[in-house]
């Protein structure tokens, strides 16, 4: 698996944490514990045939662990949108899913070209999707708002000409 360039502290950052979860989220990100189950998969640029499989694997694993349908739905939506974004808008990357007994942490890292303005990218309807991506049925500009809506925490680190990292936390 190819390495994705490291995100750096001088890059732009976006956080959304649903109210009530601030302390648990900050404790998690401060300590970054290692999960019992970690799934990893490669995401190939403009490959809309295999992109989505990583998200499906995560959903199936959680289902086997007995996680309820509403949480499965939220994980599947957030994970799929983030996975497709790497395929649609970046030079490829990977997804890593860390499954804990009370939450899941999803991390998507890619090889650029990055997001110039994360706040703008979060606005519903904003999209830079090219013709190919639109022909595949994507590009409504609703993926990131959907991830925000379905996650307890969303953390994005990126910048113009840099890699992007998207982290999602969902409690069960």
Ligand X SMILES: Nc1ncnc2c1ncn2[C@@H]1O[C@H](COP(=O)(O)OP(=O)(O)OP(=O)(O)O)[C@@H](O)[C@H]1O
> What 3 state SS string does the chain have?
CCCCCCCCCCCEEEEEECCCCHHHHHHHHHHCCCCCEEEEEEECCCCCCCCCHHHHHHHHHHHHCCCCHHHHHHHHHHHHHHHHHHHHHCCCEEEEEEECCCEEEEEEEECCCCCCCHHHHCCCCCCCCCHHHHHCCCCCCCHHHHHHHHCCEEEEEECCCCCCEEEEEEEC
Q: Which residues lie near Mg ion (CB under 5 A)?
A: 85, 143
What does 55 bind: Mg ion, ligand X, none (CB cut-off 5 to 8 Å by kind)? none
- Cβ proximity to ligand X: between 83 and 172 the closer is 83
Of the candidate spans 42-50, 52-60, 62-70, 136-144, the one that interacts with ligand X by CB under 6 A turns out to be 136-144
Instruction: Please state the closest distance from residue 23 (CB atom) to ligand X, in A.
Output: 28
144, 153, 157, 169: which one contacts ligand X (CB under 6 A)? 144
Instruction: Please state the closest distance from residue 102 (CB atom) to Mg ion, in A.
Output: 28
127 binds ligand X, rule: CB under 6 A: yes
67 binds ligand X, rule: CB under 6 A: no
106 binds ligand X, rule: CB under 6 A: no
Positions touching ligand X (CB under 6 A) are 81, 85-86, 88-90, 110, 114-115, 121, 126-129, 138-145, 164
């Amino acid at each position: 698996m190819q390495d994705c360039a490291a995100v750096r502290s001088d890059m732009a950052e976006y956080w959304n944490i649903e109210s009530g979860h601030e302390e648990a989220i900050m404790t998690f990100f401060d300590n970054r514990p290692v999960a019992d189950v970690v799934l990893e998969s490669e995401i190939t640029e403009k490959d809309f045939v295999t992109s989505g499989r990583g998200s499906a694997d995560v959903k199936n694993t959680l289902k086997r662990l007995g996680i309820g349908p509403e949480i499965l739905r939220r994980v599947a939506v957030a994970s799929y949108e983030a996975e497709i974004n790497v395929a649609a808008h970046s030079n490829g990357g990977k997804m890593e899913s860390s499954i804990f007994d009370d939450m899941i942490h999803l991390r998507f890292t890619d090889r650029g070209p990055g997001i110039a303005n994360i706040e703008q990218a979060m606005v519903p309807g904003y999209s830079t999707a090219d013709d190919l991506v639109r022909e595949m049925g994507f590009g409504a500009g609703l993926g990131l708002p959907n991830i925000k809506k379905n996650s307890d925490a969303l953390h994005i680190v990126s910048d113009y000409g840099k890699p992007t990292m998207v982290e999602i936390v969902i409690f069960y």
